[in-house]
Amino acid sequence: MGVTYVSQWNIPEGKNIQQGVEELQNKAEKLGAKKCGLFVVECESFHSTNAQNLKTLHTIHNSEYPASRFACFEDGSFLVTDVMLGTFLSKLRSVWQPKKGGKIESKGQRYEFGDFIIKIGIVSMGPSTKGIALELEYAPCRFPLDCWELMTEMLHELIDDQAPASLPQVIAQKPDANLAELTALQYIRLFNNLRKASMNR
């Protein structure tokens, strides 16, 4: 329930995804982070059947918010619902149809390091793995601008050269938004990027 930063971690040359994850986990453990269970973030995308209005709807399930589901439209509107969202959408099948290969998830180990929560996940689409997602959360703070310096410092420790230079665009655009929403939006962006990357490949 804190400020969260989500990004893709590029695997160093000559290593596969598993080795990359292990490297990152080692780094986190060396810092002193403690293993604290598993996490999963699932994303399922839907497209509208209306030909004129070709929009995409992403639904996110984050294990950090087990009672909630998030729905994000491409135009930026965002919805927080309870667990019945999936059933509800299946009833609206005539309007929203699941995209082919629309299911993508990030799964992995969750670490706690003082007030920080580090999540290192492998992004996979069905059977194929797409990359490594890193999530850093600073639990006590709710205002991204206030703790960004602290988080950057932490990120430098974790992923020294891949640390972001500035505030991510999603957070910068709406710094006052709900933190869960910001997390979900960052994940959607990450998943979209990974999807595109795999398409291009």
Partner 1 sequence: MYAKLTFSMLVAGMHPGSGMTEQNDKISIASLSENKIQEISYDGQETYFKPFTLSESLTDLANRINFLNEDDNDCEDGEEEDPKGFHQAKQWPWRDIHSHLQRALIEMNVLVDVISITQNKPTTLKDSAAESSDANRYLMYDLAQKDSEPTKPMLQLITKKKCLAGAAKILLNGYERLNKAWTETSGQISFHSALLKLRKCWRVRRVGDKIMGDLSYRTAGSNFWHSGAFEVIKRSGDDTDEESSYGSALPSRLKSPISVEVSSDLLGYAEIFVSVINLDVHRDSLPDDVSECFSLNFHDLMQSSVLRVNQPPWHQKLVNAQNVLFCKEFFTRLTKEAIQLRCRSLYSPFVIVGDTISALVFPHTQLSVHLRYKQKPLLDEKTGNSNIKSLFSFKHTLLQLLQKDHSKQLNIPTPHPTSAVLGLTPEMRHASIQPWSSMQLDTTLKRDDDSLAEAMVKMAKHYEVRRRLAKVIKMILNEYSDPDIQAHWLTLSNQYESCVRMTMASFGYEACHRTVFQATAMADKVKFLHREGKIVFVEVDESCIYKYLVTLISGHQTLTLDKLARNMGWNVLQVTPRSGIDFNSSVINRGSLVASSPSFDSYVGIVCSTTYQGTVEYDVKVKYTKSPENKSTKTSKDPELLAMQFDKYMSIGGIWQKVNWQKIYGRNFINKVETLLTCLVNYD
Q: What is the DSSP string of 48-113?
A: ES-SSS--EEEEEEETTSTT-EEEEETTS-EEEE-TTHHHHHHHTTTTEEEPTT--EEEEEEEEEE
Residue 122 · residue 128 · CB < 8 Å: no
- One symbol per residue from 160 to 179: x for binding partner 1 (CB under 8 A), - otherwise; what is it? ------------------x-
Residue 65 touches partner 1, criterion: CB under 8 A: yes
Dihedral of CA atoms 125, 126, 129, 134 in degrees, nearest 10, equals: 50
Residue 80 touches partner 1, criterion: CB under 8 A: yes
Residue 74 touches partner 1, criterion: CB under 8 A: no
Residue range at the interface with partner 1 (CB under 8 A); choices 21-29, 68-76, 152-160, 192-200: 68-76
| Main-chain dihedrals φ then ψ at residue 175, nearest 5 degrees | -70, -15
Return the number of the residue (84 or 199) whose C-beta is nearest partner 1.
84
Of 5, 9, 70, 111, the residue at the interface with partner 1 (CB under 8 A) is: 70
Residue range at the interface with partner 1 (CB under 8 A); choices 59-67, 99-107, 143-151, 188-196: 59-67
Q: State in angstroms the smallest separation of the CB of 177 from partner 1.
A: 13
Provide the token pair at 151.
């988080």
Residue 17 touches partner 1, criterion: CB under 8 A: no
Instruction: Count residues binding partner 1 (CB under 8 A).
Output: 15
Contacts of 170 (CB under 8 A, 6+ apart): 182, 185, 186, 189
Alpha-carbon distance of 167 to 170, in angstroms, equals 8
Of 13, 16, 30, 67, the residue at the interface with partner 1 (CB under 8 A) is: 67
Task: Give contact residues for partner 1 (rule: CB under 8 A).
Answer: 1, 63-70, 80-83, 178, 180
